[in-house]
Amino acid sequence: MEALDLARWQFGITTVYHFVLVPLTIGLSTLVAIMQTMWFKTGNEKWLRLTKFYGKLLLINFALGVATGIVQEFQFGMNWSEYSRFVGDVFGAPLAMEALIAFFLESTFLGLWIFGWDRLPRAVHLATIWALAIGSTLSAYFIIAANSWMQHPVGAEYNPETGRAEMNDILAVLTNNTALVAYPHVISTAFLVAGTFVTGIAVFWMVKNARLDKQDPEIAIYRTAARFGAWVMIIAGAGILYTGDEQAKLMFQQQPIKMAAAEALCDTEQPAAFSILSIGHLGATDCNDVKTIIKIPGFLSYLATGDWNAKVEGLNDLQPQYAERYGATDTSGETIHYQPNLLITYWSFRLMIGLAAFSAALALAVLWFTRRGRNTDQPWLQKLALISLPMPFAAASFGWIFTEMGRQPFVVAPNPSGSDQIFLLTRYGYSTAVSAGTVLTSMITFTVVYAVLGVFWYRLMHRYASEGASPVEEPVLRDDSDESQPLSFAY
Amino acid sequence: MDFALVWFILLAVLWTGYLVLEGFDFGVGMLLPFAGRNNTERRVALNTIGPVWDGNEVWLLTAGGATFAAFPEWYATMFSGFYLPLLLILVALILRAVAIEYRGKINSEVWRRRWDMVIIGSAWVPSILWGVAFSNLVRGVNLDADHQYSGTFFDLLNPFALLGGVVTLLLFLSHGSIFLALKSDGIVRERAEKLARQFSLYAIVAAGAWAVWGQIAFANAAWTWAAVAVAAVALVITWVATGLKKFGLAFTANAIGIAAAVVFIFGSLYPDVMPAINDPANSLTVDNASSTDYTLKVMTWVAVIFTPIVLAYQSWSYWVFRKRLHVDHIPEHKELTFNKG
């Protein structure tokens, strides 16, 4: 493999790994903040227990999420230096803003929250978890703005003298319509992940306790958490559907070839059918032997434009259009295939949607079986909860794989209604000064380190989740005149 | 206004913030086995940085992000050129973040001892490598006409850079022991005071030799002698203050010493950001490596508005955790174990 392929693999591995952890951090930090707020307002001990229980799981996850996030900011320069030179004038700004505006907030208040239970008045301590939640939610905004610029470059012009994209409107970059729909989609997903996480674990405990003793007062705590998470999932799910639909419509305009690939739509159709199952040689660059065996007539036209009869352009027609506009061959004279990998885009798109459906099923089942004060001891619900638990994580990953792989062969996809000079093929973005052997070393190192840390992450998450929301002591402000009083928490 | 110069200076500020703050985090990490002979004592040391280390590390991410935004060419050449040292630093930072958080999660002596080894090792590695990296900037590297790094990994391990690695190592050891002396009490404090006394002396010798060598051999200007002098005076004051047991003064003086070293590094580079020793025409400069004025102006506004806010809440967090820690403050281990029951 060449340095380019290795750099792509490294980016894929480290980024997917990071983005498995991040949605849980973002969603769960707010959900824990809500739990702590409920305790603050009601004084009900069950909310404190839930805060501490899910708070511990949040921290285990947070540590690895932050640690793997550092790599993200550095590997652009290490493996993608030519990309960095081309986009730095635009792309660096949101990254720097993320650190300064959001990440400082998140990290500083994290320390205050963890260690502050006995040092800060309750209201102030509550504010620290909200600052943490706001910081992590805000950080995603800047990252999405940066990523959206790679999908749909705006607010910049090409400077032939420096050979790079140069920013001329920061507001345009920060209010990129791609970002404005991608951000709520990503945040809704984070809440779906966190809601499923909260409910999944709570249902496990609710059923387990109910099977031992139906009158166990502990059941009430988990019932509360299960229903709370379920409502979060319902609201987040609605948000995902709405923003996903908006995003798809926008993407049909901005990156038509990505959407055509997602649908394995080879020839232009009017009206276009939505493919539920396609078979054939999806990996091929020539998509003519793809056969769609189950489809919904007209639905693709509707998804793309809101009109059941609209024309949707297929890959065979888009390729020559792209070739004409952005070049038929690359600098070495090779034909550029503008069609992204069909197998990956087609299936990642469907897995994204399909796997998220588990959360919907879990949410509806939980709300139904716990309606009007009911408890349940149904073992199948416990199974559904455990099966559903990893699903939205996987769905979110497939969503990212779809949108990033669907952007290929571009690393910065051209904006059809913007500058025709601002785009970059992935093959011109990697670090030419770094040898394949060096990138390989780095890729293997990160993969091994991440794998080992992933094992510890899983073992700790599993261990803490299987301990349950055990009773906790009410936090008391420490008395500083008593020199021998131990801290409420220490590493 | 020359916004590229403004950002060159702001980067020096960000790096100063990073090295001053994470400098003592690393120092405490490296000194863990020396300051604490048993688990409780090690926990005293670790918890002095417990609530603040994570926020301190963001200074690095801000410096990295700001380099990308303000000097994309510098960011691209430096990060791809200093590849292997950066890889090691990244791995160390990843392991360190996880180790600090996971160490106390399982109540097992073996578990804690293993993570302690990670905490210690992951503090030593970047403490040396940051010095190596910055020294190579001061010394200059091989760059081709496209501003690509054209040296090898072993070129980075030249004597000046290796001495630079020793300098940051000793500065951080000194800084960390002074911080510990300020923030702990009892036996840990006693040990930290002794360690500070030694390391602050070694730091003067190493940093002095390195700075004079750098100034004579590589600096672009004469005024940076002033920075060398300030650093020297500050480090001597640090050492004297450790003898007088005035650790507040020692900490301030050492921080000034680190800041003066950064001023020396940036001052000796200017107007380059990455001098090419093979051909000065290939050097990356403040001008040819920077972003457009528009981008730099936007970033200046962002920095002007948000840096004071960050400083305010970070200072507050230091104030909240201002109390010295001693062994009585450390709660007993009540964490879970992997073996249930």
* Cα–Cα distance for residue pair A149/A171, rounded to 1 Å: 12
In the prediction, which pLDDT does B274 show? 95
Query: Alpha-carbon distance B42 to B34, whole Å?
Result: 9
C-alpha–C-alpha distance, residues A46 and A460, integer Å: 23
Distance between the two ends of chain A, CA-based, in angstroms? Answer: 44
A67/B contact by beta carbon, under 8 A: yes
- Asked whether residue B194 is domain-assigned, the answer is yes
Give, as one character, the DSSP assignment of residue A188: H
Nearest to A56 by CA among A84, A42, A77, A35: A35
Q: Do A117 and A489 touch, CB atoms closer than 8 A? A: yes
Å between A167 CA and nearest CA of chain B: 6
CA dist., res. B184 & res. A406, Å (int): 54
End-to-end CA distance of chain B: 68
Q: Is B332 within a domain?
A: no
**Coil vs helix vs strand at A15:** helix
Mean local confidence (pLDDT), B208-220: 93
Would B62 be classed as within a structural domain? Answer: yes
Query: Which residues sit opposite A425 in a β-bridge?
Result: A410
What is d(CA B97, CA A66) in angstroms, rounded to the nearest whole number? Answer: 8
The pLDDT, as a whole number, for residue B18 is 97
- Check residue A156 and give its pLDDT: 95
pLDDT at B137 over 90: yes
pLDDT above 50 (res A147): yes
Q: What is the pLDDT of residues A17-47, one digit of tens each?
A: 999 999 999 999 999 999 999 999 999 999 9
Whether the per-residue pLDDT at A482 is higher than 80: the answer is no
CA-based max dimension of chain B: 70
Q: Within an 8 Å CB–CB cutoff, is residue B111 touching chain A?
A: no
Mean pLDDT of the A346-356 span: 90
Res. A192: pLDDT tops 70: yes
Contact A196, A24 (CB under 8 A): no
Q: Report if residue B331 sits inside a domain.
A: no
Instruction: Give the burial class of B160: count Cβ atoms within 10 A of its Cβ; 0-12 exposed, 13-18 middle, 19 or more buried.
Output: middle
Chain A interface includes B149 (CB < 8 A): yes
Q: A158 by DSSP, 3-state: which?
A: strand
pLDDT of residue A293: 74
Most B CBs within 10 Å, among A108, A141, A482, to test the B interface: A108
Q: Which residue of A has its CA nearest to B311?
A: A104
Encoded tokens for A322 = 């792209």
Flag whether pLDDT at A285 surpasses 70: no
Residue B64, min C-alpha distance to chain A (Å): 7
Sequence-distant (6+) residues with CB within 8 A of B212 are: B228
Residue B337 resides in a domain? no
Q: Residue B262 falls within a domain, yes or no?
A: yes
- Cα B289 to Cα A302: distance, rounded to the nearest angstrom: 48
Q: Average pLDDT for residues B316-334, to the nearest whole number?
A: 91
* Cβ pair A441, B83 in contact under 8 A: no
* Backbone phi, psi, residue B325, to 5°: -110, 140
What's residue B341's pLDDT? 46
The pLDDT of B269-290, averaged and rounded, is 94
Q: Looking at the complex, does the CB of residue A464 fall below 8 Å from at least one CB of chain B?
A: yes
Q: Do A88 and B291 touch (CB under 8 A)?
A: yes
The partner residue sitting opposite B54, judged by closest CB among A89, A107, A487, is: A107
Range B307-325 average pLDDT: 95
Does the CB of B121 have a partner CB in chain A at under 8 Å? no
d(CA A312, CA A302): 10
For all residues of chain A together, what is the average pLDDT? 91
- Whether the ω angle into residue B271 lies within 30 degrees of 0, i.e. cis, is yes
Tell whether the model's pLDDT for residue A284 goes beyond 60. Answer: no
Check CB contact under 8 Å for B79 and A105: no
- Write out pLDDT tens, residues A53-105: 999 999 999 999 999 999 999 999 999 999 999 999 999 999 999 999 999 99
The tokens describing B178, both together, are 């002074």
A107: closest CA among B179, B168, B25? B25
CA distance A220 to A199: 13
> For residues A289 and B127, which has the higher predicted lDDT (pLDDT)?
B127
Query: What pLDDT digit, counting tens, does each position of B223-268 carry?
Result: 999 999 999 999 999 999 999 999 999 999 999 999 999 999 999 9
> What percent of chain A lies above the pLDDT cut of 70?
98
Asked if A377 and A214 touch (Cβ cutoff 8 Å), the reply is yes
Among the partner-chain residues A99, A100, A108, the one whose CB lies closest to the CB of B313 is A108
CA A140 to each of CA A94, A134, A145, A148: distance values in angstroms, whole numbers, following the listed order: 10, 10, 8, 12
Say if the Cβ atoms of A111 and B64 lie within 8 Å.
no
Domains of chain B: total = 1
Count other C-beta atoms under 10 Å from residue B86's C-beta: 22
pLDDT of residue A280: 67
Question: Which of B3, B52, B101 is most worth mutating to test chain A (most A CB atoms within 10 A of its CB)?
Answer: B101
B chain contacts of residue A470, beta-carbon cutoff 8 Å? none
Pick from B80, B84, B321: CB nearest A77:
B80
* Partners of residue B150 in chain A, C-beta under 8 Å: 433
Query: Residue holding tokens 């392991």?
Result: B95
Which residues of B fall within a CB distance of 8 Å from A444? none
Give the SS3 label for residue B82.
Answer: coil
Look up the CATH number of the domain holding residue B175. Answer: 1.20.1630.10
Which residues of B, range 271-310, sit inside 8 Å of A by Cβ? 291-292, 294-295, 298-299, 302-303, 306-307, 310
Whether the CB-CB separation of A13 and A79 falls below 8 Å is answered with no
Taking residues A438-462, what's their average pLDDT?
A: 96
Contact B328 A488 (CB under 8 A): no
Q: Is the pLDDT of residue A160 over 80?
A: yes
For residue A166, the one-letter residue type is E
pLDDT at A484: 76
Chain A residues with beta carbon closer than 8 angstroms to that of B303: 100
Please report where in the chains the tokens 């990356």 appear, as a residue. Answer: B284
Which whole number is the average pLDDT over B152-171?
A: 96
Which class for B35: exposed (0-12), middle (13-18), buried (19 or more C-beta within 10 A)? buried
Which residue of chain B has the CA closest to A57? B105
Looking from the CA of B261 toward its CB, the CA atoms found within 13 Å total: 32
Q: How far is CA A181 from CA A260, B54, B62, B115, B239, in A?
A: 20, 31, 27, 42, 57
According to the model, what pLDDT value does residue A286 have? Answer: 62
For residue A124, is pLDDT > 90? yes
* pLDDT greater than 70 at residue A254: yes
Per-residue pLDDT band at A154 (split at 50, 70, 90): very high
Work out the percent of chain B whose per-residue pLDDT is above 70. Answer: 99
Does the residue B336 lie in any domain?
Answer: no
Q: Do A490 and B104 touch (CB under 8 A)?
A: yes
Q: Which of B224, B102, B84 is nearest to B157 (CA)?
A: B84
In a domain, B87, yes or no: yes
Average pLDDT rounded to a whole number, residues A245-269:
89
- CB neighbour class for A372 (10 Å; exposed up to 12, middle 13-18, buried from 19): exposed
Judged on CB neighbours under 10 Å (0-12, 13-18, 19+), B157 is middle
Give the domain range for residue B309: 3-326
Is residue A83 a contact partner of residue A427, using CB atoms and an 8 Å limit? no
% residues pLDDT > 90 (chain B) = 94
